[in-house]
Amino acid sequence: TILGAFEMASHVHEYQVRNDSTPYFWHISRVARILIHELRYINADVISSALLHDVLEDSDIITAEVIKFNFSPYISYIVEVLTKNIRLTGEQREIEDLDYVERLRYSSIDCIIVKFVERLDNYRCLEFGVKRNPFRYIEETELHYYPMAVQEQHPLLSRIVEEMDRIKRKLLS
């Protein structure tokens, strides 16, 4: 399962580059690595979902049904929850962003953990220009995502939030 997810994600993101000029797949693989090596969250479905978390956004041919067929309904569910329509603009984008946060808030703990790990990796890359407005990204994280960590009271989420706060203090000092 994990190897298949790795292969699918590496093919989908093969030619993508992030704003910091690094291959996009590096971000994907770091998210899985954080789960495995830092958090010791060894769950094949969650690791596979972490590797696939942006596949639906970045592929014109892979669908949730393809993920469900090749992996499992649960992996497809996590990836769908973590997928935003990134092609929207203006007011539609703002509505989509709020809907996304609500969907995530009422999803499984695994969805929330993958999302927090993904944001943690982005925090670690803020000083390299991965986000156009890092201060807005931090503000959005604290406003929309931190309340989920408080609500869940999950030890992994607490660790991730502590690390993100450490990074924020370093950036702002």
Query: What is the pTM (predicted TM-score) of this model?
Result: 0.95
CA-to-CA distance for 131 and 7, rounded, in angstroms? 26
Q: Quick one: pLDDT at residue 173?
A: 86
Confidence of residue 134 (pLDDT cuts 50, 70, 90): very high
The single residue listed with the structure tokens 């992994």 is: 156
Per-residue pLDDT, averaged over 40-51, amounts to 98
Summarize pLDDT for 93-128 with one digit per residue, the tens: 999 999 999 999 999 999 999 999 999 999 999 999
Per-residue burial over 99-137, b = 16 or more CB atoms within 10 Å of its CB, e = otherwise:
ebbeebeebeebbbbbbbbbbbbbbbbbeeebbeebeeb
